[in-house]
């Protein structure tokens, strides 16, 4: 939530910041702003996307080689020019950008108002900034000292970056709970919420840790902890190419990412799955195999689409490994008083690796002695770093706000993890193990087949684009796919959609069915096929419209459904990786038909770093 970019060096800061903000717009896009330091602070901010900010800066003085920029996802205060970042402190000397939430801002604001401070925005950011200014004034301290004192008093999560009119050669940044990457150039430094604004300038980066303060000059980076002790920056090499974060000829990132899936799933399997040897190599799992295979219970913790991947993993792990699995929303888990035993294993699933709820939930579980296995996409992200062990999903940067390729990569990794544990625990026959390895190996090619023949989905989208509601139903492994299909439709087309286990329909949702309600069945050939055929009949008997994801050649459902979306035959454990693809495309094409911004749906942000 919220993207931050800052620059200090020999270049003009403005173009670097604007380009970076556009790359980070997926993190929030309701207002944007920039502050440049050059004989005083020049501040420009505007409600709307970064393009709106660019428009208001035409013809303005944009000179300066030190600056901070922000693209916002509103938490405190509506999206507006005055709530946009950067904010200026009361004396006009400091400007600050912030990603996160200051939870005790109301008390601090009250305190500052009593001292005569006047606020020009509704944000917690302006409160923190004036709090820092106030400490600096009262203690006659440096900005760095004032910041240290302030950070010890605030509750919440933050990445902040400050510029100071009186110290025009320095940027000061601090982090707790939200991500901050510093790119190290020759005589220049780049700061950003992720590496995408940085990669074209340098591949050397430092990931700032919680409770660290960075004092950055063009040719110097100093890291300190809140106790004012210097810490050695750990410089890492970025393994990311510019092409991976560009649209590459596609109209939207979402479409590009859907079409990348044959490759991303292949990348996920590559070097791990060896069909000829019948092996799965995952060092993060292997190195901790005794802990993992002897877990009394597995708790899967995630949010949104990653939570849906967790539900599918629950079915797969229980089936193959015979270990009890529970799947938890991270946001619920972190606030209740869950029972976690020493022998429990937590699987945390996250594309971004920065989701605040997931991060805090696993910290809680870790405190109680659980072993954390992170299934994460973004290399070096917070969840990856605090996990005991893990496996990256290798899907590459996912920029479209709606998760697509990250989901299928998560399912692929989770299937491999389950197979590996099952083999170690000897809860799977060799024949079934080899069969599933083969099935996984064939997934990239099958996904390609679905995508190559998917143009017809545009016509289905055109037919249903104006419906107000939709119901998604599935059974067994395909029930979470129904949930994911409904989530995709909601996010991209703003159509109200609900996912249900198909058998639950008669316990309530069937009351919704009439000739206007499209019911999307995920009804591939599996153990539940006959049952779901009956469910389809029940919908048809009430004149509902049926759109069905089916296995190619399934004449039974083809004869009953109004529209079909066929996928190649696959083992039922693996089928969700395929059956979700037509649902991703259906949502995409409906969103496009409704002329919505599918890459940046309203009110959403890609990386939910606030709770």
Known catalytic residues are 2, 606
Q: Tell me how far apart the alpha carbons of residues 324 and 331 are, in angstroms, rounded to a whole number.
A: 21
Q: Is 193 in the site for ligand M6R (CB under 6 A)?
A: no
* Residues in region 117-146 near ligand M6R by CB under 6 A: none
Specify the residue, 170 or 355, whose C-beta has the smaller distance to ligand M6R: 355
**Closer Cβ to ligand M6R, 307 or 500, answer by number:** 307
Check if the beta carbon of residue 409 is closer than 8 Å to that of residue 265. yes
Residue 367's Cβ-count burial label (10 Å; 0-12, 13-18, 19+) is: exposed
| Contact window for ligand M6R (CB under 6 A) among 149-157, 227-235, 349-357, 451-459 | 349-357
Strand (E) or helix (H) holding 513? none
User: Contacts with ligand M6R: how many residues (CB under 6 A)?
Assistant: 15
Tokens 């970076």 belong to which residue?
20
User: Which 492-521 residues touch ligand M6R, going by CB under 6 A?
Assistant: none
Q: Kindly tell me which residue out of 71, 178, 212, 305 binds ligand M6R, with binding defined by CB under 6 A.
A: 305
Q: Among 10-18, 399-407, 512-520, 591-599, which window interacts with ligand M6R (CB under 6 A)? A: 399-407
Q: Helix, strand, or coil here: 201?
A: coil
According to CB under 6 A, which one of 67, 197, 304, 396 is a site residue for ligand M6R? 304
CA dihedral (107, 110, 116, 122) in degrees, to 10, reads 90
- State yes or no: residue 486 binds ligand M6R (CB under 6 A): no
User: Residue 544 or residue 591: which is nearer to ligand M6R going by CB?
Assistant: 591
Number of helices followed by number of strands (H, E) in the chain: 20, 27
Choose the stretch contacting ligand M6R; rule: CB under 6 A; options: 57-65, 176-184, 279-287, 348-356.
348-356
- Contact in structure between 64 and 37 (CB atoms under 8 Å): yes
Binding status of residue 584 toward ligand M6R by CB under 6 A: no
- Complex with ligand M6R: residue 64 or 485, whichever CB lies closer: 485
In the complex, minimum distance from the CB of residue 181 to ligand M6R, in angstroms, rounded to a whole number: 16
Q: Does 194 bind ligand M6R (CB under 6 A)?
A: no
Question: Footprint of ligand M6R on residues 356-385 (CB under 6 A)?
Answer: 358
**In this complex, which beta carbon is closest to ligand M6R, that of residue 121 or of residue 358?**
358
Helix orientation angle between 575-593 and 456-464, rounded to the nearest 10 degrees: 60
CB 258, min distance to ligand M6R, A: 12
Q: Is 177 in the site for ligand M6R (CB under 6 A)?
A: no
Residue 478 lies near ligand M6R (rule: CB under 6 A): no
**Chosen residue from 32, 303, 311, 384 binding ligand M6R by CB under 6 A:** 303
Applying CB under 6 A, the span of 22-30, 299-307, 434-442, 547-555 interacting with ligand M6R comes to: 299-307
In the set 403, 584, 587, 609, which binds ligand M6R (CB under 6 A)? 403
Residue 352 touches ligand M6R, criterion: CB under 6 A? yes
Decide whether 196 or 350 has the Cβ nearer to ligand M6R: 350
Contact map string, positions 588 to 607, toward ligand M6R, x by CB under 6 A = ----------------x---
Min separation Cβ 350 and ligand M6R, Å: 3
The upper half-sphere exposure of residue 200, i.e. CA atoms within 13 Å in the direction of its Cβ, equals 12
Instruction: Please pick, from the candidates 608, 609, 610, 611, the single residue that binds ligand M6R as defined by CB under 6 A.
Output: 608
CB of 407 to ligand M6R, least distance (A): 8
Q: Where are the alpha helices (H) located in 322-355, listed in sequence order?
A: 330-333
Query: Which residues, at least 6 apart from 369, have a Cβ–Cβ distance to it below 8 Å?
Result: 340, 341, 342, 344
What is the rounded CA–CA span in Å between residue 589 and residue 489?
10
By beta-carbon proximity to ligand M6R, the closer residue of 188 and 599 is 599
Q: Using the rule CB under 6 A, is 440 a contact of ligand M6R?
A: no
Binding ligand M6R by CB under 6 A: which of 71, 130, 355, 412?
Answer: 355
CB of 26 or CB of 521, closer to ligand M6R? 26
Residue 558 Cα distances to 221, 456, 553, angstroms: 64, 15, 8
Written as one string, the DSSP assignment of 285-316 is HHTTHHHHHT-SEEEEEE-HHHHHHHHHHHHH
CA 604 to chain centre: 11
Please choose, out of 187-195, 316-324, 396-404, 455-463, the segment that lies near ligand M6R by the rule CB under 6 A: 396-404
* Among 17-25, 272-280, 300-308, 559-567, the segment contacting ligand M6R (CB under 6 A): 300-308
Q: What are the angstrom distances between the C-alpha of 44 and each of 7, 27, 31, 58?
A: 16, 20, 11, 11
What is the distance between the alpha carbons of residues 183 and 198, in angstroms, rounded to a whole number? 6
- What do you get for the CA distance between the two ends of the chain, in Å? 10
Instruction: Provide φ and ψ at 113, rounded to 5°.
Output: -60, -40
Residues 6+ apart with CB under 8 A from 259: 250, 451
* Contact indicator for 199, 244 with CB cutoff of 8 Å: no
E-assigned strands of 130-170?
Answer: 156-164
> How many Å apart are CA 344 and CA 338, to the nearest integer?
12
If one asks whether residue 387 binds ligand M6R (CB under 6 A), the answer comes out as no
491 contributes a contact to ligand M6R by CB under 6 A: yes
> What phi and psi values does residue 358 have, to the nearest 5 degrees?
-65, -40
Of 147 and 406, which CB lies nearer to ligand M6R in the complex structure?
A: 406
CA angle 548, 549, 554 (to 5 degrees): 85
Does 402 sit near ligand M6R (CB under 6 A)?
A: yes
* CA 547/CA 551 separation, integer angstroms: 13
Eight-state DSSP code of residue 122 = S
Q: Which stretch binds ligand M6R (CB under 6 A): 88-96, 171-179, 190-198, 395-403?
A: 395-403
CB 575 within 8 A of CB 478: yes
Q: Considering the complex, state which of residue 304 and residue 390 has its C-beta at the smaller distance from ligand M6R.
A: 304
Is residue 408 at the binding interface for ligand M6R, with CB under 6 A as the rule? no
Binding site for ligand M6R (CB under 6 A): 303-306, 350-352, 355, 358, 401-403, 491, 604, 608
């Amino acid at each position: 939530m919220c993207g931050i970019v800052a620059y200090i060096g020999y270049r003009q800061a403005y173009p670097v910041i604007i380009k970076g903000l556009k790359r980070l717009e997926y993190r929030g896009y309701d207002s944007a702003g920039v502050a440049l330091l050059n004989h005083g602070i020049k501040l420009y901010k505007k409600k709307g996307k970064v393009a709106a900010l660019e428009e208001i800066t035409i013809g303005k003085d944009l000179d300066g080689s030190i600056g901070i920029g922000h693209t916002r996802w509103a938490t405190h205060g509506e999206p507006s020019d005055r709530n946009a970042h950067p904010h200026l402190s009361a004396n006009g000397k400091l400007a600050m950008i912030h990603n996160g939430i200051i939870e005790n801002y109301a008390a601090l604001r009250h305190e500052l108002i009593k001292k005569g401070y006047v606020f020009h925005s509704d944000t917690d950011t302006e409160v923190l900034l004036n709090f820092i200014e106030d400490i600096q004034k009262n203690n006659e301290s440096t900005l760095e000292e004032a910041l240290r004192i302030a950070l010890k008093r605030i509750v919440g999560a933050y990445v902040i970056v400050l510029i100071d009119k009186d110290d025009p050669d320095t940027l000061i940044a601090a982090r707790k709970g939200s991500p901050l990457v510093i790119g190290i150039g020759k005589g220049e430094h780049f700061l950003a919420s992720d590496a995408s604004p940085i990669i074209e300038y340098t591949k050397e980066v430092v990931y700032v840790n919680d409770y660290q303060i960075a004092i950055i000059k063009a040719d110097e980076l100093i890291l300190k902890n809140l106790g004012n002790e210097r810490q050695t920056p750990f410089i890492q090499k970025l393994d990311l190419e510019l092409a991976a974060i560009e649209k590459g000829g596609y109209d939207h990132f979402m479409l590009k990412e859907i079409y990348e899936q044959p490759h991303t799933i292949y990348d996920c399997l590559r070097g791990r799955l060896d069909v000829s040897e019948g092996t799965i190599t995952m060092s993060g799992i292997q190195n901790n195999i005794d802990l993992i295979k002897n877990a009394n219970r597995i708790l899967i913790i995630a949010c949104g689409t990653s939570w849906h991947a967790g539900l599918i993993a629950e079915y797969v792990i229980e089936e193959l490994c015979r270990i009890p699995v529970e799947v938890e929303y991270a946001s619920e888990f972190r606030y209740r008083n869950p029972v976690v035993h020493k022998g429990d294993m937590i699987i945390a699933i996250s594309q971004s690796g920065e989701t605040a709820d997931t991060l805090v939930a696993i910290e809680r579980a870790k405190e109680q002695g659980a072993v954390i296995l992170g299934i994460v996409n973004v290399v070096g992200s917070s969840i990856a770093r605090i996990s005991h062990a893990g496996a990256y999903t290798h899907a590459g940067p996912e920029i479209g706000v709606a998760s697509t390729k990250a989901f299928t990569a998560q399912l692929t990794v989770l299937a491999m993890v389950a197979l590996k544990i099952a083999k170690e625990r000897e809860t799977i026959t060799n024949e079934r193990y080899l069969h599933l390895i083969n099935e996984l190996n064939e997934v990239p090619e099958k996904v390609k087949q679905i995508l190559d023949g998917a143009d017809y989905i545009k016509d289905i989208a055109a037919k249903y684009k104006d419906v107000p509601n939709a119901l998604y139903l599935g059974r067994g492994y395909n029930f979470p796919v129904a949930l994911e299909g409904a989530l995709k439709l909601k996010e991209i087309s703003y159509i109200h959609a609900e996912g249900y286990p198909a058998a639950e329909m008669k316990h309530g949702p069937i009351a919704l069915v009439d000739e206007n309600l499209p019911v999307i069945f995920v009804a591939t050939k599996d153990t539940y096929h006959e049952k779901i055929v009956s469910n389809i009949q029940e919908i048809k008997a009430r004149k509902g419209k049926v759109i069905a994801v089916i296995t190619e050649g399934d004449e039974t459902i083809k004869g009953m459904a109004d529209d079909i979306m066929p996928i190649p035959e696959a083992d039922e454990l693996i089928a969700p990786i395929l059956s979700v693809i037509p649902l991703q495309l259906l949502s995409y094409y409906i969103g496009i038909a409704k002329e919505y911004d599918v890459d940046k749906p309203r009110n959403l942000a890609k990386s939910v770093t606030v709770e």
